[in-house]
């Protein structure tokens, strides 16, 4: 069974809400990334969707990439097709290139890849207790990897 997902709800007002769900910090596992991609592709196809809000569950946007996914990929045990590389590039390309406006509703943590998703949206709104950051910069870890579909 996979770890984490993104959910999609479309309101009568034409606003689609995509929620990252992967407690405790809504980390971006491979399952979450593939699910986000699927949700975005669906809202881009739907005529009843006029705008998109991306958020996270349980008062956290996203704590960033799921570090355990990296070791699974390196060991060839990710369980995902074409997962020999992982990146946020595909989601930023879909989000940034989307023809429908998207807004990141950020609460709590928005770190690393989570912050990259928020920055890829056309606009961002946050609560006062938001924590933004790119912790990989302090660790000297800069990843430029890709997921191929």
Q: Which of the residues 41, 42, 96, 116 is marked catalytic?
A: 116
42 is catalytic: no
* Residue 35 CA to its chain's centroid (Å): 9
- What is the C-alpha to C-alpha distance for residues 120 and 37, in angstroms, rounded to an integer? 13
The single residue listed with the structure tokens 């890829």 is 120
136 is catalytic: yes
Q: Which of the residues 41, 42, 136, 146 is marked catalytic?
A: 136
Whole-Å CA distances, 149 to 85, 88, 91, 133, 139: 11, 13, 12, 28, 29
Pairing of strands 109-111, 51-56: unpaired
Any idea which residues carry the catalytic annotation? 116, 136
């Amino acid at each position: 069974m996979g770890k984490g997902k993104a959910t999609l709800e479309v309101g009568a007002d034409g606003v689609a809400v995509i929620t990252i769900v992967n407690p405790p910090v809504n980390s971006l596992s491979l399952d979450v990334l593939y699910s986000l991609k699927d949700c975005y592709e669906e809202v881009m196809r739907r005529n009843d969707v006029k705008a998109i809000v991306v958020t996270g569950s349980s008062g956290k946007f996203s704590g960033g990439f799921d570090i355990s996914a990296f070791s699974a990929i390196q060991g060839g045990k990710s369980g995902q097709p074409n997962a020999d590389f992982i990146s946020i590039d595909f989601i930023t390309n879909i989000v940034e290139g989307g023809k429908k406006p998207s807004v990141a509703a950020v609460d709590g943590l928005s770190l690393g890849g989570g912050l990259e998703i928020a920055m890829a949206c056309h606009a961002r709104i946050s609560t006062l207790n938001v924590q933004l950051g790119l912790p990989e910069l302090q660790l000297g870890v800069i990843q430029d990897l890709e997921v191929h579909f």
